[in-house]
């Protein structure tokens, strides 16, 4: 996962690193995509597999047209590159519904779980798996 601000700051190095990783069958995710998204539109040869839309646009996108517009543009950027689109920072049911309607592939945020240690994640995953029906 590479931070979008760092990619834009040193684009040539970021591309080189991403290409080397790609040859080793490791995909690059662009995280915290915010104001940098127009610059990345111009990069036809950046080998990424996932874009994470920054929470500054996700939080409130249910009620704010500009945020919703930016979320759509970031989703279109991901689609244009054949990459997954992840909405970061989903905290309310309304924003989740808006993000789902826009068409993001994945969501993450406090609505589902707050950041946690690996041990807590393992315990939570085990607890939740017991709630699933067999099969």
* Sheet hosting strand 106-108, strand order edge to edge: 2-3, 29-33, 50-53, 84-88, 106-108
The model's pTM: 0.76
Q: What is the CATH number of the domain that holds 105?
A: 3.20.20.450
The runs of H, that is alpha helices, within the chain are 4-9, 11-23, 37-41, 55-58, 65-80, 93-102, 118-131
For the chain, how many structural domains are there in total?
1
Mean pLDDT value across residues 52-76: 94
Task: Kindly state the average pLDDT of the residues 50-75.
Answer: 94
Can you list the pairs that 16-23 forms with residues at least 24 positions away whose Cβ atoms lie under 8 Å?
Answer: 18/46, 18/47, 18/48, 19/47, 22/47
What is the reported pLDDT for 79? 92
Range of the domain at 48: 2-131
């Amino acid at each position: 996962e590479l931070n979008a601000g760092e990619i834009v700051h040193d684009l040539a190095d970021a591309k080189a690193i991403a290409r080397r990783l790609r040859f080793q069958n490791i995909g690059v995710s662009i995280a915290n995509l915010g104001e940098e998204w127009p610059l990345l539109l111009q990069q036809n040869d950046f080998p990424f597999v996932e874009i994470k839309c920054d929470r500054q646009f996700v939080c409130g996108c249910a009620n704010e047209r500009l945020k919703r517009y930016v979320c759509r543009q970031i989703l279109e950027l991901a689609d244009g590159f054949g990459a997954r689109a992840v909405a970061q920072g989903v905290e309310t049911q309304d924003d989740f519904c808006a993000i789902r309607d826009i068409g993001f592939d994945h969501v993450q945020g406090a609505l589902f779980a707050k950041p946690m240690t690996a041990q807590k994640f393992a315990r939570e995953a085990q607890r939740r798996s017991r709630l699933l029906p067999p099969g």
